[in-house]
Amino acid sequence: MEVVSTIDQVRERIKQWGNEGKTIGFVPTMGYLHEGHGSLIQKAGENDKVVVSIFVNPMQFGPNEDLANYPRDFEKDKIYCESLGVDLIFHPDPKEMYSERFCTYVDMSILTEELCGKSRPVHFRGVCTVVSKLFHIVQPDRAYFGQKDAQQLAIIKQMVEDLNIDVEVIGCPIIRERDGLAKSSRNTYLNKEERVAALVLSQAVKIGEELVLNGEKDATLIKETMIAKIESEPLAKIDYVKIVDGLTMQPVERIEKTVLAALAVYIGKTRLIDNFIFEI
């Protein structure tokens, strides 16, 4: 496994692989890798070569968000990647990614306006910009994103379609702890009591999903049942609970096509997300 920190180094390796006719699978991450990332990396093994980027992207953090405190452990990440057969880690410095004269942004309307986009107004501009940069640097055949960040996945798919980027975007299922909590680097922020309280997210998701699977079509009723569950937990504070069109991320009233039921909840000071997709 090779670890590089400059764009030129990635380009050199990528060109070589291109000349050898190798396919490239790419997993962009912010590091502090867990089994959720691991599942993406394993899936990316369907390509000849696997590239993982580890970059805590300043542009996708708002001014009052957790950029400085975002958990980092590059040595552990390296060992984990090695164990999963990763071929190349790209671990750039922010200065390598954003020059002093940087002033270009990839922006999106509609899909970014609900859910996390509402609570985190600059977030998806940062995500789109950095992912488009990473796609240009790594030039993968396929890129892998977790369904846990469902809105991000929908946005990346839309960006790739709109800008005609020549990459296949593949979404992978949410990986959960044994008790149901969706794996997330931010789970590390939780103290013991909060860790127990955080179960309310996956429990609310499960309740909502069961209602839908049993044929319930009324989005408001489903949402309110999920909200009631979350509100039963004193440490939980709802940011949003929403049921939206799976493509446009716009709220729906009835379950009539593919929908995303998504929630963001503060457990203490930690903001966690979870969701389910119901495909029609």
Q: Kindly tell me which residue out of 23, 45, 94, 105 binds its own copies, with binding defined by CB under 8 A.
A: 105
Q: Residue 190 Cβ, how far from its own copies at the closest point, in Å?
A: 35
Asked if 95 interacts with its own copies (CB under 8 A), we say: no
Would you count residue 128 as binding its own copies (CB under 8 A)? Answer: yes
- Write out the binding residues for its own copies, residues 216-255 only, by CB under 8 A: 247-248
CB nearer its own copies, residue 231 or residue 245: 245
Provide the minimum distance between the beta carbon of 98 and its own copies in the complex, in angstroms, as a whole number.
8
Given the complex with its own copies, which of 42 and 248 has the nearer CB atom? 248
User: Is there binding between residue 133 and its own copies (CB under 8 A)?
Assistant: yes
Identity (one letter) of the amino acid at 158? Answer: Q
Q: The sheet that has 236-245: what strands, in order across it?
A: 236-245, 259-267, 270-278
By the 8 A CB rule, do 28 and 170 touch? no
Q: Distance between CA 159 and CA 170 in Å, rounded?
A: 13
Q: Is 115 in the site for its own copies (CB under 8 A)?
A: no
Toward its own copies, which CB reaches closer, 69 or 109? 109
SS3 letters across 4-38: ECCHHHHHHHHHHHHHCCCCEEEEEECCCCCHHHH
CA dist., res. 35 & res. 175, Å (int):
7
The answer to whether residue 122 forms part of the interface with its own copies (CB under 8 A) is no
Distance CA 13, CA 88 (A): 9
Among 95, 164, 192, 234, binds its own copies (CB under 8 A): 164
Q: Does the active-site annotation cover 37?
A: yes
Residue that is written with structure tokens 């429990």 in the block = 203
Minimum distance from residue 57 beta carbon to its own copies (Å):
14
Instruction: Figure out which of the listed residues 56, 150, 153, 159 binds its own copies, where binding follows CB under 8 A.
Output: 159
DSSP string, 156-211: HHHHHHHTT-S-EEEEEPPPB-TTSPBP-GGGGG--HHHHHHTHHHHHHHHHHHHH
Considering only residues 13 to 32 of the shown chain, the ones binding its own copies according to CB under 8 A are none
Q: How far apart are CA 23 and CA 45, in angstroms?
A: 10
Q: Annotated catalytic sites, by residue?
A: 37
Binding site for its own copies (CB under 8 A): 7, 11, 99, 101-111, 128-129, 132-133, 136-137, 139, 158-159, 161-166, 247-248
